Amino acid sequence: MKVLVVLGTSAGGVGAHVKGLVGSLTGQGHTVVVACPPAVEEHFDFAGVATTTASLEVADRPHPTRDARAVRDLARLSAGADVVHAHGLRAAALAVLATARSGVPVVATLHNAAPSGALTSAVYGGLERVVARGSDLVLGVSADLVERMRRLGARRTGLAVIAAPPRREAERDRYAVRSELGIGGRTCLGVVVARLAPQKGLPLLLDAHHELATQGLDLVTVIAGDGPLREQLQARIDAQNLPVRLLGHRSDVPDLLRAADVVISSAVWEGQPVGIQEALHAGAAVVATDVGGTAAVTGAAALLVPPEDPISLSRAIRDVVLHGSVRDDLRSKAVERSGELPTDADAVAAALDAYASVLVQGSGKGSGGR
């Protein structure tokens, strides 16, 4: 089978998923062409796993001239392909337009919710309708994405199977980590693994910590990650004297997770959150907002709270750090849940099933069926 894989800008989970999927496909003897921006190719080295790669300019935002060029390039690249698998809304919309005449079926995998904002929502809403009505199969990383595409007119939808990140073993014990952080033996340690970006809901985390501080809870939370909100968050931490530390990018995330009394996610939306999956691999006690696909990832192995509710978040954190039985139960469930997370083999099997389904169905695009 010849597969054209398309993606736009990515520096994280989407690119990592695509690289794993492409490697598995070529490992099974399939021909896979990856079309993506040069910077993305350089970051993930798709050339090392794909049959071949092609440069494709896909910007973060719609641009008429560049997008028209990308559609022409994709129309050429898709010639002779059995299926096009596009990752992300922008890439999927371009793929749908590029294959409108050729009859090559398109599988679209959506990894993120559309951004907020009146103008941005309008633009992305238009792209969503193109993808919903023009793709042969739309997969979403969470049930809410799938339902949205179904409401927008998608003919066939399903949940995407995304391999969990590989388990990484901690190299230091909790005492060494706490010593390095300067945290005393009686102080509880919270850990957050998140990009400092709006989607991660970090102001909610600070709200919860303000509440906990007024209750006298001896808890310090460290955030591993960097991003555009760093200065804004640090300013608030300093102004309110909150026991929260921004650690920046860390290469010792497994060590931090192993040392944590509680791992926290305050996200506004998540698909299949990598940070939480890493916490499950580490056997950590997890508290998280119940958004997007988070509950589907954690199962019973987390205390889930409503989004945008700092009181509920603070109470859940307090329950975990003060009650050893709650913490130990969550840790036991995390270990069990970790063994149930999808693997690379699961992801490639699901992708091949998706390709087979659209090939058997036949899109009818060449005869005006789309």
Three-state SS string over 110-136 comes to ECCCCCCCHHHHHHHHHHHHHHHHHCC
pLDDT at residue 232 in the model: 98
Cβ–Cβ < 8 Å for 65, 44? no
CA distance 78 to 175: 55
Helical H segments across the chain, by residue range = 13-27, 38-44, 64-78, 89-98, 118-134, 143-151, 174-181, 202-214, 230-240, 253-259, 274-281, 294-298, 310-322, 324-338, 344-361
Statement: residue 15 has pLDDT above 50: yes
Statement: residue 364 has pLDDT above 50: no
Per-residue pLDDT of 305-323, as tens digits, reads: 999 999 999 999 999 999 9
Cβ–Cβ < 8 Å for 106, 130? no
Tokens of 279: 């916490």
Domain count of the fold of the chain: 2
Cβ–Cβ < 8 Å for 341, 277? yes
Per-residue pLDDT of 246-279, as tens digits, reads: 999 999 999 999 999 999 999 999 999 999 999 9
Backbone angles phi, psi at 54, to 5 degrees: -140, 140
Residue 169 in domain? no
Residue 185 in domain? yes
Q: How would you classify the pairing of strands 137-140 and 188-193?
A: unpaired
Tokens of 102: 């050729």
Tokens of 208: 């919860």
Number of H helices, E strands in the chain: 15, 13
Residue 135 in domain? yes
What confidence tier does 13 reach under pLDDT thresholds 50, 70, 90? confident
The verdict on 89 and 142 lying in the same domain is yes
**Dihedral sign from CA coordinates of 15, 20, 21, 27:** positive
The verdict on 156 and 261 lying in the same domain is no
Residue 257 in domain? yes
Reduced to 3 states (helix: H, G, I; strand: E, B; else coil), residue 100 is coil
Per-residue pLDDT of 117-129, as tens digits, reads: 655 667 788 999 9
Per-residue pLDDT of 120-167, as tens digits, reads: 667 788 999 999 999 999 999 999 999 999 999 999 999 999 999 999
Average pLDDT over residues 283-306: 98
Residue 25 in domain? yes
Residue 168 in domain? no
Average pLDDT over residues 328-343: 98
pLDDT at residue 223 in the model: 98
The verdict on 9 and 140 lying in the same domain is yes
Statement: residue 115 has pLDDT above 90: no
Average pLDDT over residues 62-80: 92
What confidence tier does 365 reach under pLDDT thresholds 50, 70, 90? very low
CA distance 183 to 170: 19
CA distance 56 to 229: 30
The verdict on 192 and 143 lying in the same domain is no
The verdict on 293 and 212 lying in the same domain is yes
Q: How would you classify the pairing of strands 137-140 and 219-224?
A: unpaired
Tokens of 179: 């010593």
What confidence tier does 116 reach under pLDDT thresholds 50, 70, 90? low
Residue 69 in domain? yes
What is the pLDDT of the chain when averaged over all its residues? 94
Per-residue pLDDT of 203-231, as tens digits, reads: 999 999 999 999 999 999 999 999 999 99
pLDDT at residue 366 in the model: 40
Residues 6+ apart with CB under 8 A from 57: 37, 66, 69, 70
The verdict on 200 and 272 lying in the same domain is yes
**Dihedral sign from CA coordinates of 249, 12, 10, 159:** negative
C-alpha distances in angstroms, 29 versus 3, 20, 24, 138?
A: 11, 15, 9, 25
CA distance 131 to 110: 10
The verdict on 131 and 218 lying in the same domain is no
What confidence tier does 76 reach under pLDDT thresholds 50, 70, 90? very high
Tokens of 25: 């496909």
Cβ-based neighbour number of residue 361 at 10 Å: 13
Statement: residue 368 has pLDDT above 50: no
Which of 190-194, 250-254, 326-330, 361-365 is the least confident region?
Answer: 361-365
Cβ-based neighbour number of residue 216 at 10 Å: 7
The verdict on 14 and 51 lying in the same domain is yes
The verdict on 158 and 73 lying in the same domain is yes
pLDDT at residue 61 in the model: 75
- Domain range enclosing 54: 2-163+343-367
The verdict on 246 and 301 lying in the same domain is yes
pLDDT at residue 363 in the model: 46
End-to-end CA distance of the chain: 23
Looking up residue 292, the CATH number of its domain turns out to be 3.40.50.2000
pLDDT at residue 367 in the model: 37
Reduced to 3 states (helix: H, G, I; strand: E, B; else coil), residue 322 is helix
Instruction: Give the rounded percent of residues in the chain with a pLDDT score beyond 90.
Output: 89
The verdict on 194 and 332 lying in the same domain is yes
The verdict on 270 and 231 lying in the same domain is yes
